[in-house]
């Protein structure tokens, strides 16, 4: 337990620091790095012709979609012709159409669901120009959307911020510098960073083996910083090249956790900024605590479940003293694996350092549940926006309970907003449940399922939860590179990302244009322990109740069958 405790203890000061920096970058306030970055950004603006004009909410979201669509188009094209292009020392072939569709949507939506294996499916050029490029832009897109959202919540106008400027500033001032530092650390730990072709070596057993190489460390760093999660290799962060040591494991865990948490701090500072300087800000602290509580519930559950191991295996006379080690790396053990699992799904990264398919049923339920809620910190930026939907919903109910019409940060939540909020909350379970039902009801879907019974259903639920939450981790074991799975998960990722962002920015725009009312003793306090408790309860009630029937057929049945046979 102490390993987890220490990592979380290091995390807290880091996230506050990063939050303050993010706040300054977002609100165009001075930082000590300005002299350098102002010049770099200036050049980029001039070369690309970006005019720093404020956009309305509508313009902002339109620009966001259009620029993403453009990147998708270019990326798709490159994947389809990669064999003929440069930086392809291993002679990788062009990617198939539906797989390309899935891959490009996957990376543009910050999901990084991989139905291919990097070492055999992508050239170095694709890894860098598509995968790493999109890892930066998709993370920046999510964060830009979130900041456009947050700025509108605290502003009194809908015309503020420019998408392109936000995108550039986030990449140059936040993602690039941090990724650079992390990549250097990973190289020091043993990750390769090279353009040389794969090496074929003779092993101690005297057999020949291909050792896949490439620009791994640079991908690895943004993969976690941007909560992307797509590995250079198919086996992701379980492999020694992507995640060589316990130290690199800790760095990767902290990298994933850094920016999603910092978003909450930045938002909190925006709310508090009008009044006074503060370290964290009460509003964000309330939301951060709620996310933290949900995260800890999951973390403790998965750790306990993995430690307990599987009694059926114990009955066979195989010791479970180290916990359930099936599918885990010896160098990480149960604790570092459980923490990685909880973090990668809560923070919606999707990289894995152990096989989630072989987690105990309850251990496997936790990552699934984190993605189904999609608000436990969540992906960079979007996680906060998703949580804000529940915050608004909680406010709606709580305000009624004290006899006020619902109001947040001085803006009334009325019919129009409520419609969009409800739609936002509805869309995620709808995508997961409808596609899962479709998969188990069609032969094309069932063909991909490799396990019978309850575990088969768990695989399906996990895959769509991962897609819709834009997480990208796989339960694995699913034969998912087929037209059916490529197309349906592609659509799940697409809707899960863009419909939600459009709706959320629409809500923020509506609120930004509203009359502002002041807070008094009679208005609801949204920044105290009571509110946090209520928020957690509402997330669990609405989020959990929605998935309970499906989960009871999957992992819960699996668990009961192990323990109550």
Partner 1 sequence: METASKKSFITSDIMKNAIIGAFKKLNPIYMIKNPVMFVVEIGFILVLLLTIFPNLLDSGAGEKDRLYNAIVAIVLFVTILFANFAESIAEGRGKAQVQTLKNTKTATKVRVLLENGQEVMKQAHELKKGDIVLVQAGEVIPNDGEVIDGIATVDESAITGESAPVVKERGGDFSSVTGGTTVTSDWLMVEITALPGESFLDKMIALIEGASRKKTPNEIALNTLLVSLTIIFLLVVVTLYPMTVYLDVHIPIATLIALTVCLIPSTIGGLLSAIGIAGMDRVTQFNVIAMSGRAVEACGDVDTLILDKTGTITYGNRMASEFSPVNGVEISKLIRAAWLSSLTDDTPEGKSILLLACELLVDTTHEGLIIEKSDHISFTAQTRMSGLNMQDGTKIRKGAYDSIKNESLAAGQVIPKDLEQLVHRVSSVGGTPLVVSVNDKILGVIFLKDIVKPGLKERFDQLRAMGIKTIMCTGDNPLTAASIAKEAGVDGFIAESKPEDKIKVIKDEQALGKIVAMTGDGTNDAPALAQANVGLAMNSGTNAAKEAANMVDLDSNPTKIIEVVEIGKQLLMTRGALTTFSIANDVAKYFAIIPAMLMVAIPEMNALNVMMLNSPTSAIISALIFNAVIIPLLIPIAMKGVNYKPMSASKLLSKNLFIYGLGGLLAPFIGIKLIDLIIGPILQIMGL
Interface ranges with partner 1 (CB under 8 A): 393, 396-407, 410, 413-415, 417-419, 422-423, 425-426, 429-430, 433-434, 436-438, 440-441, 446, 453-454, 456-457, 515-518, 520-525, 528, 530, 534, 537, 541-542, 545-550, 552-553, 556-557, 560-561, 563-565
CB neighbours of residue 58 within 10 Å: 13
Closest to partner 1 by CB, 254 or 433:
433
Q: How many residues are listed for the chain in this entry?
A: 565
Closest to partner 1 by CB, 208 or 521:
521
Q: Say which residue the tokens 């768990």 belong to.
A: 458
Closest to partner 1 by CB, 198 or 405:
405
Burial tier of 273 (Cβ tally within 10 Å: 0-12, 13-18, 19+): middle
Shortest distance in whole angstroms from residue 547 CB to partner 1: 8
Closest to partner 1 by CB, 152 or 428:
428
CA distance 307 to 304: 5
At 202, which helix (H) or strand (E)?
strand 199-202
Shortest distance in whole angstroms from residue 455 CB to partner 1: 11
Closest to partner 1 by CB, 130 or 433:
433
C-alpha angle with apex 29: 28 to 33, nearest 5 degrees?
Answer: 100
Shortest distance in whole angstroms from residue 299 CB to partner 1: 23
Q: Which of 182, 178, 320 is nearest to 247 (CA)?
A: 182
Closest to partner 1 by CB, 122 or 421:
421
Shortest distance in whole angstroms from residue 73 CB to partner 1: 33
Shortest distance in whole angstroms from residue 270 CB to partner 1: 18
The answer to whether the Cα torsion of 169, 174, 175, 178 is positive or negative is: positive
State the DSSP string of 16-65: HHHHHHHHHHHTT---TTHHHHHHHHHHHHHHHT-------HHHHHHHHH
Q: Tell me, what DSSP letter sits at residue 525?
A: P
Coil vs helix vs strand at 223: helix
Closest to partner 1 by CB, 186 or 465:
465
Rg over alpha carbons for the chain, rounded to the nearest Å, is 23
Shortest distance in whole angstroms from residue 509 CB to partner 1: 18
The answer to whether the Cα torsion of 359, 361, 366, 369 is positive or negative is: positive
CB 325 within 8 A of CB 274: no
CA distance 259 to 221: 13
Closest to partner 1 by CB, 184 or 427:
427
Shortest distance in whole angstroms from residue 539 CB to partner 1: 12
Closest to partner 1 by CB, 266 or 285:
285
CB 160 within 8 A of CB 397: no
Residue 392 structure tokens = 């608004």
Shortest distance in whole angstroms from residue 225 CB to partner 1: 34
Shortest distance in whole angstroms from residue 172 CB to partner 1: 38
CA distance 164 to 51: 9
CB 557 within 8 A of CB 563: no
CA distance 70 to 76: 10
Shortest distance in whole angstroms from residue 444 CB to partner 1: 14
Closest to partner 1 by CB, 372 or 501:
372
């Amino acid at each position: 337990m102490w390993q987890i405790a220490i990592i979380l203890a290091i995390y807290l000061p880091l996230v506050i620091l990063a939050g303050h920096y993010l706040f300054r970058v977002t609100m165009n306030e001075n930082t000590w790095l300005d002299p350098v970055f102002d010049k770099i950004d200036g050049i980029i603006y001039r070369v690309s012709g970006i005019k720093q004009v404020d956009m309305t909410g509508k313009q902002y979201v339109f620009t966001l979609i259009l620029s993403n669509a453009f990147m998708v188009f270019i990326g798709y094209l490159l994947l389809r012709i990669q064999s003929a292009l440069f930086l392809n020392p291993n002679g990788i072939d062009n990617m198939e159409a539906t797989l390309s569709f899935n891959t490009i949507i996957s990376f543009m939506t910050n999901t990084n669901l991989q139905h291919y294996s990097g070492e055999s499916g992508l050239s170095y050029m694709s890894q860098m120009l598509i995968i790493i490029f999109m890892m930066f832009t998709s993370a920046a897109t999510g964060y830009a959307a979130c900041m456009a959202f947050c700025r509108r919540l605290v502003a009194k106008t809908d015309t503020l911020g420019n998408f392109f400027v936000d995108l550039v500033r986030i990449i140059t001032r936040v993602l690039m510098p941090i990724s650079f530092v992390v990549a250097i650390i990973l190289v020091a730990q043993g990750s390769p960073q090279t353009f040389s072709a794969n090496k074929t070596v003779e092993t101690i057993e005297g057999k020949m083996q291909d050792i896949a190489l490439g620009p791994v460390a640079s991908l690895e760093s943004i993969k976690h910083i941007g909560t992307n999660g797509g590995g250079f290799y198919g086996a992701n962060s379980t492999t020694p090249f992507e995640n060589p040591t316990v130290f690199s494991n800790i760095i990767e865990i902290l990298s994933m956790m850094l920016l999603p948490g910092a978003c909450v701090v930045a938002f909190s500072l925006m709310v508090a900024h009008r009044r006074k300087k503060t370290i964290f800000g009460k509003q964000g602290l309330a939301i951060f605590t709620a996310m933290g509580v949900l995260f800890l519930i999951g973390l403790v559950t998965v750790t306990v479940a993995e430690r307990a191991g599987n009694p059926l295996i114990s009955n066979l006379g195989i010791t479970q003293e180290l916990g359930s080690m099936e599918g885990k790396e010896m160098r990480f053990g149960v604790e570092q694996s459980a923490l990685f699992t909880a973090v990668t799904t809560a923070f919606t990264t999707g990289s894995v350092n152990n096989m989630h398919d072989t987690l105990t049923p309850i251990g496997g339920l936790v990552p699934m549940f984190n993605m189904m809620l999609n608000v436990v910190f969540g992906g960079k930026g979007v996680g906060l926006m998703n949580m804000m939907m529940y915050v608004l919903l909680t406010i709606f109910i709580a305000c009624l309970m004290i006899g006020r019409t619902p109001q947040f940060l001085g803006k009334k939540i009325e019919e129009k907003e409520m419609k969009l909020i409800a739609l936002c909350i509805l869309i995620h379970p709808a995508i997961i449940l409808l596609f899962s039902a479709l998969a188990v009801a069609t032969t094309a879907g069932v063909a991909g399922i490799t396990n019978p019974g309850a575990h088969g259903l768990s695989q399906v639920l996990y895959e769509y939860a991962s897609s819709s939450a834009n997480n990208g981790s796989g339960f694995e074991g699913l034969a998912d590179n087929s037209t059916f799975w490529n197309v349906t998960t592609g659509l799940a990722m697409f809707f899960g990302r863009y419909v939600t962002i459009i709706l959320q920015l629409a809500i923020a725009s509506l609120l930004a244009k509203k009359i502002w009312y002041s807070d008094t003793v009679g208005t609801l306090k949204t920044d105290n322990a009571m509110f946090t408790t209520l928020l957690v309860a509402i997330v669990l009630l609405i989020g959990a109740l929605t998935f309970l029937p499906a989960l009871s057929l999957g992992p819960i049945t699996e668990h009961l069958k192990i323990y109550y046979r």
